[in-house]
Amino acid sequence: MKKSKLIRVGVIGLGRGQTYARGAGGACGMELVALCDHWADKLKAGKAAYPGVALYTDYAKFLEHDMDAVVLANYFHEHAPFAVKALEAGLHVMSETSACATLAQGVALAEAVEKSGRTYMIAENYCFFNTNQEMRRLYQAGEIGEMRLAECEYIHPDPIAARLARAWGRGHWRNLCPSTYYCTHALGPILYITEARPEYVNAHSIAYAADETQDNPVRQGDPGFTMLCRMNTGASVIVNGLLLRGHGNWYRIHGSRGLMENLRTGDRGMLRVAHDKFDMKAGEVSETIYRPEFPNHAELAAKAGHGGGDFFTNTMFAESIRTGKPPLLDVYRALDMSLAGIQGWRSALDKGNAKEIPDFRKKRVRDLYRNDTWSPFPTEKGPGEAPASIQGVRKVSARDLAAAKAVWRKQGYKGG
């Protein structure tokens, strides 16, 4: 691709954002031109890794740089406010999950995208695993009929040192995030495959047990959750997560005439498609298990992180900007999967009672929630709002806090 046609992109957040910075090359139709992080030490490392790229600690100055688009890999609960500022500056935006931390932020984000006319895409990379791209192809072709029931999970345990190293400071978003909020790696691919949207959610959170001594001792959020989403098609989707033992990413869809799933054990890059013999069509077999290829750029995708997803998020974002065609993972689908987590937490705190997931495609619906700032995060949290755990505030011992601070110091964080 000629340099003149490359999308000039800036990345904010040089933790997770390193992946997007490395991937913003000609193969994806991008050119990395600017980096932003409030940690000067990270910018020094960025200067060495990306010579010639402009560096900023001030986000407002960063937005003034001569570029076309920004990738937001900053803190989880800051994505929507940063996205709105970028859109108001005339820039296209790709945002890490989640799209917003409150319903009011979701309203502001939807309206900023509509007003700007710019491309917005959520970087939900789990949608682009080889199996999930193949399931979308099969589903859209009618292979298993209409979804009736789906199950999905994102479960990612880590050693305590790794968790502490990612979450420096008691006020870090990872230490204050309710379990259901991080649901998009599980739910997102189901929305991508079927294009259905969740309308209601019932949720339960799984609290820490006394014997779970290997988990982050300063984390306030619960380690697990399960949600049941009622979809606009009448189907049900069971969503499981988050930090429980037994790493797994699994997606299973029961349709009106068959099912498909990636294998839950062994090689999870294998896909299983099954039909009952009594309603098989001519030429179909009762069960097929195979490894699907990526639809394109297989070699480049195989080298990228998150099962190839990190390559395809960049590629599809750049392609959407060039063509002017909204991405499948547009602001409305981003909000569908993100609001499910927020409303799921409301449900968990209300003993699992159903909560509506508002459709912010509709202005009359947005008007009901534009002042809804209910939040577990200190930057938005009001008195008595949203604890991060169904057990309330967890006490942190002096010993555990000292051990955590020792890890944080190694990361360059000197706070408490």
- What confidence score (pLDDT) does residue 215 get? 67
pLDDT at 147: 98
Long-range contacts at 267-276 (CB < 8 A, ≥ 24 apart): 267/291, 268/131, 269/129, 269/130, 269/131, 269/307, 270/131, 271/131, 271/134, 271/135, 273/138, 273/143, 273/144, 275/144
Q: Model confidence over 96-130: pLDDT tens digits?
A: 989 999 999 999 999 999 999 999 999 999 999 99
Q: Given a cut of 70, is residue 56 above it in pLDDT?
A: yes
Of 265-269, 303-307, 335-339, 388-392, the least confident: 303-307
- Supply the pLDDT for residue 210: 66
User: Residue 246 above 80 pLDDT?
Assistant: yes
The residues near 207 (Cβ < 8 Å, ≥ 6 apart) are: 222, 223, 389, 390, 391
Q: Structural domains in the chain? A: 3-125 (3.40.50.720), 126-299+327-369 (3.30.360.10)
Round to whole Å and give the CA distance between 155 and 245.
Answer: 8
Predicted local confidence at residue 286, as pLDDT: 96
Q: How confident is the model at residue 315 (pLDDT cuts 50, 70, 90)?
A: very high
Q: In the predicted model, what is the mean pLDDT of residues 188-214?
A: 89
What is the pLDDT, as a whole number, of residue 416? Answer: 82
Q: Give the confidence band of 413 by pLDDT, cuts at 50, 70, 90.
A: confident
CB 195, CB 337: distance < 8 Å: no
pLDDT on residue 302:
81
Give the pLDDT of residue 264.
94
pTM: 0.95
* pLDDT, tens only, 59-74: 999 999 999 999 999 9
Give the model confidence (pLDDT) of 370-386 as tens digits. Answer: 999 999 998 888 888 88
In SS3 terms, the chain reads as CCHHHCEEEEEECCCCHHHHHHHCCHHHCEEEEEEECCCHHHHHHHHHHCCCCEEECCHHHHHCCCCCEEEECCCHHHHHHHHHHHHHCCCEEEECCCCCCCHHHHHHHHHHHHHHCCCEEECCHHHHCHHHHHHHHHHHCCCCCCEEEEEEEEECCCCHHHHHHHCCCCCCHHHHCCHHHCCHHHHHHHHHHHCCCEEEEEEEEECCCCCCCCCCCCCCCCCEEEEEEEECCCCEEEEEEECCCCCEEEEEEEECCEEEEECCCCCCCCEEEECCHHHCCCCCCCEEEECCCCCCCHHHHHHCCHHHHHHHHHHHHHHHHHHCCCCCCCHHHHHHHHHHHHHHHHHHHCCCCCEECCCCCCHHHHHHHCCCCCCCCCCCCCCCCCCCCCCCCCCCCHHHHHHHHHHHHHCCCCCC
**Mean predicted confidence (pLDDT) in 396-400:** 89
Look up residue 41 and give its two tokens.
């030490």
Q: What is the mean pLDDT of residues 232-241?
A: 98
Give the model's pLDDT for residue 2.
Answer: 47
**Greater pLDDT, 165 or 347:** 347
pLDDT (average), residues 146-174: 92
Confidence band for 359, pLDDT divided at 50, 70 and 90: very high
Q: Is the pLDDT of residue 322 over 90?
A: yes
